[in-house]
Amino acid sequence: MTRTLLAVHGAWSAAWAWRKVRPLLRARGVEILTPTLTGLGERAHLLSPDVTLETHVRDILGVVEMEDVRDAVLLGHSYGGMVATVVANRLPGRFRALVYLDAFVPRDGQSLLDLMPPAMAKRMRDRAAREGEGWKVPPNDPPADTSDADRDWILPRRGPQPLRALTEPARLDPAAPWPPRTYVRCTRIGAVDTFAPFAERARTEPGWTLRTLDASHSPQVTAPEALADLLAELVP
């Protein structure tokens, strides 16, 4: 049986961010699909004020259909957790498991900015108004432990995130069943602990498993071997 992981990247990122992890997972017997969301990476030419969370959900639904993805593990990293949540909710029974890698986990009617500390959400809106023509958010700085070589690699590739993707609420069917869900908590936490509420949810709600990883927020860049080991375990 094929072991497949469909990975949804985070804000300002794209398929390129998984470059280190792809060969590591394939060497461990896991096929990984790493599509790029509209308006980012090699699809930056499609960036516009009209790109929303729903646009990105449809991107992944299209990959599932065209690649005939079945019985795979769906992963969302950071913002990608918003997308993965809606996709899994719309396709009940399609995925073997759902993994959140230091990711946002919305409930019905919540946007990403709803899930952020209010001061941080305000900074996002202010940066879009000041630096992004009112509709796009420039990239945040990478984690402090990112090496100089990795900074040189990622900074030219990180692009602005469409603001509407961060403000549009996730629309979920509360009656739809969920696959088993795992939250991977990266434990090298920055000055603001944005993801603690989701790790707590995984610790206390039924249907969840909580795992930890000794890495900062983007382990696919800074800790690819450790991440590949963990993901190979989570893709049965």
Domains present along the chain, CATH in parentheses = 4-234 (3.40.50.1820)
One DSSP character per residue, 158-210 reads --PEEHHHHHSPP---TTS----EEEEEE-S--SS-TTHHHHHHHHHSTTEEE
Mean pLDDT for the chain? 96
Which entry of 78, 111, 216, 218 is annotated as an active-site residue? 78
Rounded percentage of the chain residues whose pLDDT exceeds 70:
99
Single pTM value for the model? 0.97
**Mean pLDDT calculated for residue range 26-36:** 98
Give the model's pLDDT for residue 191.
63
Q: What is the token pair recorded at 4? A: 């497949």
Residue 5: closest CA among 79, 78, 74, 84: 74
Contact 15, 218 (CB under 8 A): no
Contact 12, 140 (CB under 8 A): yes
What end-to-end distance do the CA atoms of the chain give, in Å? Answer: 10
- Report pLDDT digits (tens) over 40-81: 999 999 999 999 999 999 999 999 999 999 999 999 999 999
Establish whether 78 is a catalytic residue: yes
- Report pLDDT digits (tens) over 157-176: 999 999 999 999 999 999 99
